[in-house]
Amino acid sequence: LSAAVGVTPLWVSFSAELADELRKGASILWMQNGRPISTAMSGSCVLRDIGEHRLEALIITADDREIRLGETITVLPKLTTRAASVP
């Protein structure tokens, strides 16, 4: 996971590293807030909504072992600055 806290829009990259014996024949499902977003071992997404987001991976190995990974990501509002007035 590339970031656990950031400012909107937040670009997040993710990947699952598995030992060769687990990776061969495994399937993976990445979810953001419970919605499927990818079935690849790695990928990326952009989080625009302010607040907490849950990124999870469900990995099923070739011998039907289940591995679950997850991380909560906090997206903060973009700060705006006002130009100082010049007298």
User: pLDDT at position 26, please?
Assistant: 96
Distance CA 34, CA 78 (A): 25
DSSP SS3 for 20: helix
pLDDT digit string, tens, across residues 18-36: 999 999 999 999 999 999 9
pLDDT of 41-56, one tens digit each?
999 999 999 999 999 9
pLDDT(85) > 70? no
Whether the link from the prior residue into 77 is cis, omega within 30° of 0, is no
Considering only CA atoms, which of 55, 64, 56, 62 is closest in space to residue 26? 62
Taking the C-alpha atoms of residue 68 and residue 73, their distance in angstroms, rounded to an integer, is: 17
Please tell me the total number of residues recorded for the chain in this structure.
87
Model's pTM, two decimal places? 0.82
